[in-house]
C-alpha cells in the first residue's frame, strides 16, 4: 500500500483481491481511496471495504442554544460543542444543572439549528456589540434587561415569523459569522473513522401553522459550505424554493446536499399532500425533484411516531404507537369529523405517503414519495438521548425532574408525559466518514429505530433461497443477486416472485425481539391502494436474540406497483415515564402506557412493473 499527500488530505490506496462481481458496488474499484481531513496531529487513514459492512448510529436532528426556541425555553448555555461532546460519550452538565451522559457513544451527529434568526438570541445574551447596534439587537436586549424579559422577546419573534409585523433581520454579516462558527465547530470534532460531524441546519417552514420542516444535510466540509448561507423559511416556506436553493448550491460549489422531511404527524395533512403548496397538481417534474432532493424521511422522533396510524391501518394492531395527532404544530385542534381527520392523516403518516407514492409513480412515471426511513431525537437540549432509561426530553422543562410528568412544554404547549424517547438513525456504511454516511442516506441504505440499537439487514431479489441466509458471504451475495433496503427491484424477465432475506440481531444491551414483520403496500389493477402486515416467523412472546428469515411474496402480481419494508418489535419494556414514576414515587398520568414495544423500521424496497 502507498500513502501520499494531496492538497491537505491524506490518501491511502488499499489493495483489492477483485473477488466480487462488478455489480456489487463499483466492482474491484469499490475498495478505493478515502480522503481524510488533516489536523495538527498525524492524519487518520480510513480504508474502505468493498461493500457496507458496519452499522453506524447517530442523530441528524439536534438543536442547541443557537436555535431561538431552544434558547428562549431554557437552554441558554449548551451549544454545538456540548452537543458533540455529549454524543461522543463525554459527561455534560445539562441546563437543569445535572450531569448527563450516554451509556454508549454515538458514531455521528449533526447539529441542525433553526435557520430562522440563527444564533441571534444567544448573541444578544452574550452582548455582541455589532448586533446590539442593530434595531433588532437593541430591542431584544432592552426586553431582556427590563421587566418584560424573555416573554416580550418571544412575542416579538412570533409576530415577525408569522408576518403579523414586518421582519427585522440582523443582516448577512451576523448570519455568516454564526454559520461559519457552526462549520468550524463541526470541523474540530470530526474524527474520520471514529466520530463524524456533518454540517447542516433546519429549514422551519410552517405555512398556516402546519409543520413542513426539513433538515438540510451537506456532504462536504468548509471549502464548500462556507460559500453559502442557510436558506430560511423567512425567505420562503415552499419546499420547492428550498430545492431550488439546493440545486444552486450544487451547481455553484460542486458539492452535494439533501433534505430530510420532518416527521409529518403535525403537518395538518400537507406532508404527503395531493397538491403542491400553492395548490397545483403534482407533476412528473415535481415528483422527480422531490425524490431527488428528499431521499429519506424522519419517521420517528420525540414528537411521536410517524410510521402508521390506527385510523389509516385498522387491521394493524401495532399501528397505534406513541401516537401524536390531536393538533398541528401550531396547537390547532384536529377536526372532530372522522372523515376529515382520516383525510388529513393520510397526508401525515409514512405508510400512507408510501402508498400514495405508488399511485403517483404509476400515473406520472416518477414516485414523489419514494423515501427511506431515519429516526431522530429533535432534542432542543443539545443532548441526543433516545433511551427510555436515560431520556432528557425536548426542552429544559422536559429534562428529568419530579415535575415533568405533570407539566407542559414551555408552560402551555404539549404535555411532557406524551413525549416519545425516540429515535436514532442507523446507517449501513463502509466507513465512518461524512462521505460514506451521506452516500448511504442518498441511496437510502439506512433505517430508523425508536432508540434500541437493533441490527437489521434486508435484501430482496428474484432468485434467493432459504439456504442463502446461512451463507458465509451473505452480504456480498445479497448485493450481487439482489438489492438492499432503499433499493428498487426491477421487473424480472420470467414470472417470478420477490424473495426477501432478513437478518435481525437484538441490541446487545437491550431487550429480546418478539417479532419481525414485513409491511407490503400495493396498487391493484383498479387503482385501489392496499396494505398488509405479515409476521415473517412465529412471534416469540418471551423473546429471541435474533431472527434470520426467508420470505416469498406468494400473492405477488407482476403488473402491480408495490413496496416492502421490515418492522421489528422488541418484547414490551418500560416506557421512560414509568422509569420517572418509579424514580420519583409518582403516579402515571391518565392515558400514558406503562410498557411499550420499541421497534425498528427498515427503509422500503420498491417493485416497479
Residue 191 has pLDDT above 90, yes or no: yes
| C-alpha span between 514 and 452 (Å, rounded) | 14
Q: In this predicted structure, what is the pLDDT of residue 352?
A: 98
Q: Is the dihedral of CA 247, 252, 254, 257 positive or negative?
A: negative
At 410 the three-state DSSP class reads helix
Q: Are strands 296-301 and 372-375 parallel, antiparallel or unpaired?
A: parallel
Residue 28 has pLDDT above 60, yes or no: no
Residue 125: is it exposed, middle or buried by C-beta count within 10 angstroms (0-12/13-18/19+)? middle
Q: In this predicted structure, what is the pLDDT of residue 47?
A: 78
Q: Which three cell numbers stand for residue 419?
A: 413525549
Q: In this predicted structure, what is the pLDDT of residue 341?
A: 84
The better pLDDT of the pair 5, 254 is held by 254
Q: In this predicted structure, what is the pLDDT of residue 399?
A: 96
Average pLDDT, the chain: 91
Q: pLDDT for 262-295, tens place per residue? A: 999 889 999 999 999 999 999 999 999 999 999 9
Instruction: Write the CA distances from 436 to 27, 428, 569, integer angstroms.
Output: 17, 9, 28
Fold type of domain 454-608? Immunoglobulin-like (2.60.40)
| C-alpha span between 164 and 160 (Å, rounded) | 6
Q: Grade residue 43 by pLDDT with cuts at 50, 70 and 90.
A: low
The continuous run of DSSP H or E covering 532 comes out as strand 529-535
| Whole-prediction pTM | 0.92
Q: In this predicted structure, what is the pLDDT of residue 564?
A: 98
Residue 83 has pLDDT above 60, yes or no: yes
Mean pLDDT of 17-25: 28
Specify the range with the lowest mean pLDDT, choosing from 37-51, 374-388, 578-592: 37-51
Specify the range with the lowest mean pLDDT, choosing from 18-32, 81-95, 344-358: 18-32
Q: Grade residue 467 by pLDDT with cuts at 50, 70 and 90.
A: very high
Give the residues across from 502 on adjacent strands.
458, 549
Rg (CA), the chain: 24
Give the helix ranges, DSSP H, for 17-76. 68-72
Mean pLDDT of 186-190: 98
What percent of the chain clears pLDDT 90, i.e. is strictly above it?
84
| Dihedral pair phi/psi, residue 184, rounded to 5° | -60, -45
List the one residue out of 463, 476, 492 whose CA is nearest residue 550: 463
Q: pLDDT for 320-346, tens place per residue? A: 999 987 777 777 787 778 788 888 999
The better pLDDT of the pair 158, 352 is held by 352
| C-alpha span between 579 and 583 (Å, rounded) | 6
Residue 38 has pLDDT above 90, yes or no: no
Mean pLDDT of 354-377: 98
Q: Grade residue 495 by pLDDT with cuts at 50, 70 and 90.
A: confident
Give residue limits of the domains in the chain.
1-50, 54-120+172-448, 454-608
Q: In this predicted structure, what is the pLDDT of residue 44?
A: 65
CATH superfamily, region 54-120+172-448: Metal-dependent hydrolases (3.20.20.140)
Q: In this predicted structure, what is the pLDDT of residue 209?
A: 87
In the chain, the largest separation of any two C-alpha atoms, in whole Å, equals 76
Residue 375 has pLDDT above 90, yes or no: yes
Q: Grade residue 412 by pLDDT with cuts at 50, 70 and 90.
A: confident
Mean pLDDT of 586-599: 96
Query: One fold for both 54-120+172-448 and 454-608?
Result: no
Q: In this predicted structure, what is the pLDDT of residue 106?
A: 98
The better pLDDT of the pair 68, 29 is held by 68
Mean pLDDT of 477-505: 92
| C-alpha span between 561 and 355 (Å, rounded) | 10
Q: pLDDT for 244-254, tens place per residue? A: 999 999 999 99
The 3-state DSSP composition of the chain as helix, strand, coil percent (nearest 5) reads 30, 25, 50
Amino acid at each position: 500500500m502507498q500513502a501520499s499527500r494531496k492538497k491537505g488530505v491524506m490518501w491511502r490506496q488499499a489493495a483489492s483481491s477483485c473477488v466480487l462481481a462488478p455489480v456489487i458496488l463499483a466492482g474491484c474499484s469499490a475498495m478505493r481511496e478515502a480522503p481524510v481531513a488533516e489536523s495538527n496531529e498525524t492524519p487518520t487513514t480510513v480504508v474502505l471495504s468493498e461493500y457496507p459492512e458496519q452499522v453506524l448510529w447517530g442523530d441528524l436532528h439536534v438543536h442547541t442554544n443557537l436555535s431561538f426556541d431552544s434558547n428562549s425555553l431554557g437552554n441558554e448555555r449548551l451549544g454545538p460543542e456540548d452537543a458533540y461532546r455529549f454524543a461522543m460519550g463525554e459527561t455534560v452538565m445539562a441546563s437543569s444543572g445535572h450531569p448527563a451522559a450516554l451509556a454508549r457513544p454515538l458514531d455521528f451527529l449533526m447539529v441542525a439549528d433553526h435557520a430562522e434568526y440563527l444564533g441571534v438570541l444567544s448573541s444578544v445574551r452574550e452582548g455582541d456589540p455589532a448586533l446590539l447596534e442593530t434595531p433588532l439587537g437593541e430591542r431584544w436586549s432592552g426586553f431582556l434587561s427590563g421587566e418584560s424579559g424573555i416573554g416580550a422577546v418571544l412575542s416579538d419573534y412570533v409576530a415577525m415569523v408569522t408576518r403579523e409585523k414586518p421582519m427585522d433581520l440582523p443582516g448577512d454579516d451576523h448570519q455568516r459569522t454564526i454559520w461559519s462558527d457552526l462549520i468550524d465547530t463541526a470541523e474540530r470534532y470530526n474524527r474520520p473513522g471514529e466520530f463524524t460531524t456533518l454540517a447542516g441546519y433546519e429549514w422551519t417552514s410552517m405555512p398556516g401553522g402546519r409543520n413542513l420542516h426539513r433538515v438540510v444535510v451537506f456532504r462536504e466540509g468548509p471549502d464548500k459550505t462556507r460559500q453559502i448561507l442557510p436558506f430560511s423559511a423567512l425567505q420562503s416556506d415552499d419546499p420547492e424554493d428550498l430545492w431550488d436553493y439546493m440545486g444552486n448550491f450544487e451547481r455553484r460549489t460542486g458539492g452535494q446536499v439533501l433534505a430530510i422531511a420532518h416527521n409529518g404527524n403535525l403537518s395538518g395533512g400537507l406532508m404527503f399532500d395531493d397538491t403542491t403548496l400553492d395548490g397545483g397538481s403534482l407533476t412528473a417534474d415535481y415528483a422527480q425533484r422531490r425524490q431527488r432532493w428528499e431521499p429519506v424521511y424522519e419517521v420517528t422522533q420525540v414528537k411521536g411516531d410517524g410510521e402508521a396510524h390506527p385510523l389509516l391501518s385498522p387491521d394493524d394492531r401495532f399501528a397505534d404507537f406513541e401516537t401524536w395527532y390531536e393538533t398541528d404544530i401550531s396547537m390547532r385542534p384536529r377536526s372532530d369529523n372522522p372523515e376529515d381527520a382520516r383525510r388529513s392523516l393520510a397526508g401525515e403518516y409514512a405508510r400512507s405517503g408510501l402508498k400514495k407514492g405508488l399511485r403517483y409513480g404509476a400515473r406520472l412515471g416518477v414516485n414523489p414519495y419514494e423515501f427511506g426511513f431515519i429516526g431522530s431525537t429533535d432534542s432542543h437540549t443539545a443532548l441526543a438521548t433516545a433511551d427510555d432509561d436515560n431520556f432528557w426530553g425536548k426542552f429544559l422543562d422536559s429534562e428529568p425532574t419530579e415535575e415533568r410528568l405533570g407539566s407542559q412544554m414551555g408552560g402551555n404547549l404539549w404535555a411532557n408525559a406524551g413525549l416519545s424517547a425516540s429515535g436514532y438513525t442507523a446507517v449501513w456504511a463502509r466507513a465512518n466518514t461524512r462521505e460514506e454516511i451521506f452516500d448511504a442516506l442518498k441511496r437510502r441504505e439506512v433505517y430508523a429505530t425508536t432508540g434500541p440499537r437493533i441490527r437489521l439487514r434486508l435484501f430482496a431479489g428474484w432468485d434467493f433461497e432459504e439456504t442463502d441466509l446461512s451463507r458465509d458471504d451473505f452480504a456480498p451475495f445479497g448485493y450481487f443477486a439482489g438489492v438492499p433496503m432503499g433499493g428498487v427491484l426491477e421487473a424480472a424477465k420470467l414470472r417470478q416472485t420477490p424473495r426477501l432475506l432478513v437478518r435481525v440481531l437484538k441490541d446487545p444491551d437491550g431487550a429480546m425481539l418478539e417479532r419481525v414483520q414485513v409491511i407490503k403496500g400495493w396498487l391493484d389493477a383498479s387503482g385501489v391502494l392496499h396494505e398488509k402486515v405479515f409476521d415473517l416467523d412465529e412471534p416469540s412472546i418471551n423473546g429471541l436474540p435474533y431472527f434470520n428469515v426467508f420470505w416469498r411474496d406468494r400473492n405477488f402480481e407482476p403488473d402491480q406497483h408495490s413496496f416492502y419494508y421490515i418492522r421489528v418489535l422488541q418484547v414490551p419494556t418500560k416506557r421512560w415515564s414509568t422509569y420517572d414514576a418509579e424514580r420519583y414515587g409518582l403516579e402515571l398520568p391518565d392515558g400514558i402506557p406503562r410498557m411499550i414495544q420499541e421497534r425498528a423500521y427498515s427503509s422500503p424496497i420498491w417493485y416497479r412493473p
